């Protein structure tokens, strides 16, 4: 014969299991989506990507500038593709693409502030891979031009491209990386889901 007390105990045990799951007990997190958990900043691997790409930009930028300065006198140049691409030795005392000349000291101070802001922004918002790449390019470019301003009082620009007499502003690797980063940041602002591509869990 079935014990009446046992019949009452069985549903109570099932109810306790349900209550444990609802209260966050064993198995409560199994059905939760990882994306619903709060993001606590970039992972060590994402920081490594951010720092590594920024360092690569700085090294490449400084090596190309050093080569140009050693091979060409200021103001001189060489033809790479006739009518399309030249290598020149320009000295820019202003900002990106030679804008606002004779402002190197002021932009050196601004660059120092900007580099700190970029690192903090990556810590706060660098979840997606596109954001990490954009901010790393921006950081590497800012540091590359900052080193020029601190060492020389001007930035070495050397890429001269265009079609015939229609020329683009002379620029360098750091400028190219900064411009690419700005385009990526604008794209993320216009299409927010781009900022979540390759989200760092």
Q: How far apart are CA 111 and CA 155, in angstroms?
A: 13
**Active-site pick, 61, 148, 157, 160:** 157
- Residue of 61, 148, 160, 175 marked active site: 175
List beta partners, residue 86.
79, 160
Catalytic residue list contains 29:
no
> Is-contact 135 170, C-beta < 8 A?
no
Whether 21 sits among the annotated catalytic residues: the reply is no
DSSP string, the chain: ---HHHHHHHHHHHHHHHHHHHTT-TTTTTTS-GGGSPP-S--HHHHHHHHHHHHHHHHHHHHHHHHHHHHS-TT-EEEEETTTEEEEEEEE-SSGGG-S-S-HHHHHHHHHHHHHHHHHHHHHH--SHHHHHHHHHHHHHHHHHHHHHHHHSSEEEEEEEEETTEEPPPB-HHHHHHHHHHHHHHHHHHSGGGGGTT---
Q: Which residues are catalytic?
A: 157, 175
């Amino acid at each position: 014969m079935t014990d009446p007390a046992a019949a009452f105990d069985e549903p109570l045990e099932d109810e306790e299991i349900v209550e444990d799951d609802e209260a966050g007990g064993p198995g409560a997190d199994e059905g939760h989506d990882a994306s619903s958990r709060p993001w606590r900043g970039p992972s060590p691997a994402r920081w490594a990507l951010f720092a590594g790409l920024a360092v690569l930009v700085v090294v490449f930028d400084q090596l190309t500038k050093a080569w140009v300065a050693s091979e060409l006198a200021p103001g001189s140049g060489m033809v790479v593709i006739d009518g399309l691409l030249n290598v020149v030795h320009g000295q820019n005392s202003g900002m990106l693409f030679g804008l606002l000349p004779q402002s190197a000291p002021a932009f050196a101070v601004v660059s120092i502030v900007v580099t700190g802001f970029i690192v903090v922004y990556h810590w706060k918002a660098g979840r997606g891979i596109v954001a990490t790449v954009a901010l790393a390019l921006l950081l590497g470019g800012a540091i590359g031009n900052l080193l020029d301003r601190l060492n020389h009082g001007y930035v070495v620009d050397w890429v001269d491209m265009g079609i015939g007499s229609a020329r683009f502003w002379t620029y360098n690797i750091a400028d190219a990386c900064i411009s690419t980063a700005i385009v990526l940041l604008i794209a993320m602002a216009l299409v927010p889901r781009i900022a979540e591509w390759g989200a760092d869990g």
